[in-house]
Each structure stands twice: as structure tokens, then as C-alpha cells.
Amino acid sequence: MKTLLFPIFYPRLAVFVAAIVFYFFFVSGAKAVELKRSALIEGPTITLGDIFYDLPENAERVLGPAPRPGNDMVLNARTLMRIAVALNLNWRPASSSEHIVLQRSATLISEDEIEKRLIADIREQGYLGEFELELPAQTAEIILPADQPANFEISDLDIDSKNDRFNAIIYAPSKMSPMQTLRISGAMYPVVKVPVLKSTMRNGTIIRDNDLDYITIRAKELNHDAILKADNLIGMTPRRMAFNGKPLTDTDIEAPKIVERGQSITMTFSNGMIELTAMGKALESGAKGDVIRVVNTNSSKNLQAIVSGEQQVKVQSF
């Protein structure tokens, strides 16, 4: 007669099967949460829901203070592991590089906005001319919580025109309810608009109106003999290589040579109502108004002449 072993081991087998069923249905079958890669935090605290997706519960549980408005915070794999273990979450880091970046939302007021308002207020107090400001580093921008408006007020503005300096207090978002108060002291620099070449030019190239652009430069950085009017450049030519974007001086330019040495020219003699012309040859190059030597091609006589136009000169005699 055969002996059946199955009944003897059945109780142990039943316990084993029950354990497997429990694991797959209740442990491994539990829905895993997922880590966010980044999160934008609106309020002053970090919650569990800021870090993980698909939480079954406790998404609003506060974990700690949020970074300051406009700042970031990085939680690395080790910190995230501690949170998951402490709160019995079905999540573990896949590698040591796993992390989340938490950024606190903010209202930003840029340095440009602050500078524009200061310039307007300084002008209202009678500071004349064009100028730019040099602000201290702490006014690079104003950062307020996200629920605050991008407003600020300037108070106690004091201008030292003699030394081109100013002092002021900035309240943000308002003087009545300030969240930030900045006491600033800065400098005012008078500026000048200066015509400059758009591109590098060589001697002999005539400067035209469309060759010019304008830059704004601090007056104290400008050479005393810099050319400030485009009319003083138009029609001239560089004495040597002239570079774009650089203010030019009187020594950088000259009148173009409109009569070249060896060129055939028209000589004009005027005496009252009488005007005579004759052909000649230039022995020297010259710009308008220059005195050069020429020769009368008919008489071979050398003469002194004043350049009056392109290939034209005036003489006192033939």
C-alpha cells in the first residue's frame, strides 16, 4: 500500500502559498510613488506632495520650510531615502544621483525697473542733461514672495549735484507695508551721444551719413577733442585706419584728396566779371582749400593753385 505524503506537508504548504499571495497582492501590488524632478513652491513650506507623485495619502504633510523666494533647494538621494523610510513610502532611489530641485516662486523687480524709476525721480528734482546711474550691488533686483505685487516706492531722495551722487530709500512693495527696505547710495554720470563709424574705414574712403551710428558714452571718458557732430565727419576721410564704434578726434580725419598728383585738372582764373579757364596738370595731391603746385599744359608754366572742387583749382594767373 502506497503512503501519501501530501497530507503531512499540507499545513506548511498552505502557509507558504498564503504568504506569497499576501506579498504579491498587498506588498508588491501596492502602487509605487514617483519622484518629481523639480517643483515650484508657492508657499513658505515644503510638503510631501511637492516631492512625490501618486501619493495615497499625506500629500499636504509639511516637511520643512521652503527656500527663500527666488532661491532653489536640492534634495539628494540620501535625504529622499530618509523621507521615504520615515513615512513608509513605496519608493527607493534607483541611484545615488537621484534628486529633486525645489524652487520657491517669487515676484522679481529688475535692476532696470529700479534704475528707470530713479532716473525719472532725479529728473523731477531738476537734475539736467542726460545721465546714467551706477547702483550698488544689493539693488541688482528686489525679490518678493509670489503673492506680492511688483511694486516699490522711492523715498528720501537726496541729490548732490556738485559731486553727482544721490541717496535714497526703496520700500517694496510699499512704504506703508514694506517687506524689503533698501538704503542706497549711487553715482550719476553725465553721458554724451557720439557719432561713430559703423564699420572700419581706410584712408581715401569718404564718410557718408549712412556710414555713421551713435553710441552713448560717459562724458568723463571722452577725449576733449572728440567730434560730437555728424556734420563734422560727413565728407571727410580717415587719415589712417579708423575703427568702428570708437569716437573720432580731429586728428583722426582729414579732408579727402579731390585732386590727385598727375591728374588733369581745370584751372579757373577770376577777375571781376572776367572768368577764364585752361587745362593743367596737378603736381601735388590736395583736398578742398589746399594750396598745391600745378602746371599749365599749354605754357608749361608752374603755378600755385587752390583746390576748389574735384579736379578743379583756382589760380591767380595763367
Q: pLDDT, tens digit, for every residue of 161-212? A: 899 999 999 999 999 999 999 999 999 999 999 999 999 999 889 899 999 9
The residue range of the domain holding 79 is 1-104
Mean pLDDT score across all residues of the chain:
88
Average pLDDT score over residue span 89-103:
95
Domain end: 144, 159, 188, which one?
A: 188
100 and 16 within one domain = yes
Quick check: 69 and 144 in contact, CB under 8 A? yes
Question: Which CATH number goes with the domain that contains 283?
Answer: 2.30.30.760
Number of structural domains (the chain) is 4
Q: 8-12, 37-41, 216-220: which has the minimum mean pLDDT? A: 8-12
This model's pTM is above 0.75: no
pLDDT above 70 for 63:
yes
Please check the confidence at residue 235 and state whether its pLDDT lies above 90. Answer: no
Percent of the chain with pLDDT over 70: 90
- Read off the CATH number of the domain in which 244 is found: 3.90.1210.10
Question: Are residues 18 and 88 part of one domain?
Answer: yes
Residues 181, 205, single domain; the answer is no
**Can you tell me which residue has the cell 510638503?**
47
Q: What is the amino acid identity at position 130?
A: E
* Residue type for position 192: V
Same structural domain, 204 and 297: no
Residues 96 and 1 reside in one and the same domain = yes
pLDDT bucket at 50, cuts 50 / 70 / 90: very high
Cell of 221: 571718458
Give the end of a domain, one of 85, 104, 123.
104
Grid coordinates belonging to 134: 551706477
| pLDDT, position 269 | 94
In this structure, are 153 and 240 located in the same domain?
no
**Residue at which a domain ends, from 136, 157, 188:** 188
Neighbouring CB atoms inside 10 A of 52's CB total 23
